[in-house]
Each structure stands twice: as structure tokens, then as C-alpha cells.
């Protein structure tokens, strides 16, 4: 059972079926990569994206549950593949406290492992009478890849605009959240206006989630995160708390800019520099300001959620948002 969903037995049971389908699909892999991939997919996170598919699909109580589980599995495998590629870009040795595929087999074979997971996801769509348009999946996957490419190409450049940051996370994270909600609405055979509303809910939830995730990189603990605080800084990745702190520093009357100087002098920050930067971002109000923006996105999602007129779905989505807002991992 996924502990995150232990209070929602219906979701938890269907997520177990999603997990089984992913395992059975990956189990068909050949050679040395099979146990590596199985270990990766068996390390369950919160399974937020498949859960969104399952929750939203219940807007129609007659929705095909097997179809919902299959589509949820597709989206989760796309997400799992993106994590493999993320770890290569970040040279990450651990994720959720476990050794990454990159650390086990190296970059070249990890890329192929991530690609294999994507092929597994597509195999569950091809030739099926799916309720979800393939172009929607393709667009979301394209946005995810482009955002990762832009982030990788810009590593070490801490001085991007807020608009660039929002565009990145819209593709990197919010696109799959939006796809998940849209997919659930498609399985439920909802009219176009409702599909678009569900897509919007997913987008806002994904934006809030990623900003909160970026905040945790400054405020979380290594024990909870499974990685050191300040990892984004260490990898040369600018996120919203940093951008807002730099903005606050620029607006101050003082002509000293310690955070800007630290980032300008060192494109690759050492551990001491990372600690200094984390402290400065917090003291300059970057974290608090980022929280307010995350709340704004979350509140926009809640407005649409409350208009769905389904008590159970509204409760589950609202509860999910609340728990994500106060999470430590």
C-alpha cells in the first residue's frame, strides 16, 4: 500500500493495480537492465500523477476503471522515465534515499533505460481504443523534454527571469499534472469544457507543487528529502526562491549585493558557498515570497475544483492540495 494514500482506500487499491501493471510491463525487459528498472519502478513515491487520473475519472461513476488504470500507468511511466533522465542531468547519486540508475550503470546506459521506460509507456497506448487523444500525450512529452533541455543548457546561469522559470516548470512539471487531469476527464467522457477545466486544475496544481518542491530545496532536511539541501544551487539551477531573493537584494538601498556577488563569482558552487546562498535566500525573503506565489496557484486550482460539483472528487482533490502544501518531502 502507498502510505500517502492510506486514508483513501479506493485510490490506494487502484494505485496498487497501476503499480502491478507497470511492474509487469517492465518485467519484460531483457538482460542486465531488467532488475535495475524493476528496482526503479518499485520505489514508490506519492504516485500523484496516476492518482489524479483516477480521481478525475470518477467524475463519471460509470467510467471504465480498467481504462483509467491503464492510462494512469502510462503517465506514471512517462514520469518515471523523466526521473531517470533528471538524475543523469543532475549527476544524482541518490533519489528518495536509493541509488539512482545513473549511479548504478552510468549515463549512457541510464539514458537507454529511461528511453526504454518511455517505450513501455507508449506500448500501453499503441493499438488501444483509448479515450485520450495521442496528440495530447505527445504535446505534454514534448514540453517536458524541451523544458529539461532548456534547464540543462542554462546550468550555471542563475540570472534568468521569473517568466523563464515559470515557463520551465510549466513544461517540466505542470504539463504532466495537467495531462493527468485531462486524461481522467477523457476516460470519464466529459464534454470539452470540463476537460479543459480539469486540464487547468492540473496545471495550477503542478505549478504550486513544483514551486513548493523548489522551496523545500532551501528549507527541507536531507533525511526527509533523500538529498542535501541546496541541491539545485549545487547543480547550477535557479529556482523561484533564489530569483525572488535576488530581486529583493536589488531593491534594497544598500549597494552591497552579497548573493549576486556569490553567484557571479562562482558558476559552480562548493558546499560552503551553497550554505551561504541558502542562508541569504532565506534572509532576503525569497522563501516566504515563493510560498505566497505557490499559494496563489493553489488557490486558483481550488476555485476550479469547487466548481466540479462532485462531493467526493472535490474532497479528494482539496485534501491532496492541502497535504502537498504542508509536505516535507
Residues 269-300 as b or e (16 or more Cβ within 10 Å = b): beeebbebbbebbeebebbebbbebbeebbeb
- Residue 242 near residue 279, CB atoms below 8 Å: no
What is the C-alpha to C-alpha distance for residues 72 and 213, in angstroms, rounded to an integer? 22
The predicted-structure confidence for 243-280, as pLDDT tens digits, reads as follows 999 999 999 877 789 999 999 986 678 899 999 999 99
Q: How many CB atoms lie within 10 A of CB 162?
A: 13
Q: What are phi and psi of 206, to 5 degrees?
A: -65, -40
Instruction: Tell me the HSE value of 178 on the side-chain side, using a 13 A CA sphere.
Output: 23
Pick the CATH number of 3-325 from 2.170.130.10, 1.10.12.10, 1.10.600.10, 3.60.110.10: 1.10.600.10
The predicted-structure confidence for 32-62, as pLDDT tens digits, reads as follows 788 888 888 887 689 999 999 999 999 999 9
What is the C-alpha to C-alpha distance for residues 24 and 106, in angstroms, rounded to an integer? 25
The predicted-structure confidence for 266-324, as pLDDT tens digits, reads as follows 667 889 999 999 999 999 999 999 999 999 999 999 999 999 989 999 999 999 999 98
Amino acid at each position: 500500500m502507498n502510505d500517502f494514500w492510506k486514508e483513501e482506500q479506493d485510490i490506494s487499491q487502484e494505485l496498487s493495480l497501476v503499480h502491478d501493471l507497470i511492474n509487469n510491463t517492465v518485467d519484460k525487459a531483457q538482460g542486465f537492465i531488467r532488475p535495475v528498472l524493476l528496482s526503479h519502478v518499485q520505489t514508490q513515491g506519492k504516485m500523484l500523477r496516476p492518482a489524479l487520473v483516477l480521481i478525475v475519472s470518477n467524475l463519471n461513476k460509470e467510467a471504465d476503471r480498467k481504462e483509467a488504470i491503464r492510462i494512469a500507468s502510462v503517465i506514471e511511466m512517462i514520469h518515471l522515465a523523466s526521473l531517470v533522465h533528471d538524475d543523469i542531468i543532475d549527476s544524482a547519486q541518490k533519489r528518495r534515499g536509493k541509488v539512482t540508475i545513473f549511479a548504478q550503470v552510468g549515463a549512457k546506459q541510464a539514458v537507454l533505460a529511461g528511453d526504454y521506460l518511455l517505450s513501455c509507456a507508449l506500448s500501453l497506448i499503441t493499438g488501444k481504443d483509448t479515450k485520450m487523444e495521442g496528440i495530447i500525450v505527445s504535446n505534454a512529452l514534448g514540453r517536458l523534454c524541451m523544458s529539461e533541455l532548456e534547464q540543462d543548457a542554462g546550468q550555471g546561469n542563475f540570472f534568468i527571469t521569473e517568466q523563464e522559470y515559470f515557463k520551465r516548470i510549466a513544461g517540466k512539471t505542470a504539463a504532466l499534472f495537467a495531462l493527468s487531469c485531462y486524461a481522467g476527464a477523457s476516460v470519464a467522457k466529459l464534454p470539452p469544457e470540463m476537460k479543459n477545466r480539469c486540464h487547468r486544475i492540473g496545471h495550477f496544481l503542478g505549478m504550486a507543487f513544483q514551486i513548493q518542491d523548489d522551496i523545500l530545496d532551501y528549507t527541507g532536511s536531507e533525511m526527509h528529502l533523500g538529498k542535501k539541501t541546496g541541491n539545485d544551487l549545487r547543480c547550477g539551477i535557479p529556482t523561484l526562491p533564489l530569483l525572488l531573493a535576488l530581486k529583493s537584494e536589488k531593491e534594497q538601498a544598500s549597494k552591497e549585493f552579497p548573493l549576486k556577488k556569490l553567484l557571479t563569482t562562482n558558476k559552480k558552487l562548493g558546499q560552503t558557498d551553497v550554505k551561504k546562498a541558502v542562508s541569504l535566500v532565506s534572509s532576503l525573503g525569497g522563501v516566504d515570497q515563493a510560498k505566497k506565489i505557490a499559494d496563489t496557484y493553489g488557490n486558483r486550482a481550488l476555485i476550479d475544483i469547487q466548481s466540479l460539483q462532485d462531493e467526493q472528487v472535490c474532497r479528494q482533490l482539496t485534501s491532496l492540495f492541502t497535504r502537498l502544501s504542508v509536505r516535507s518531502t
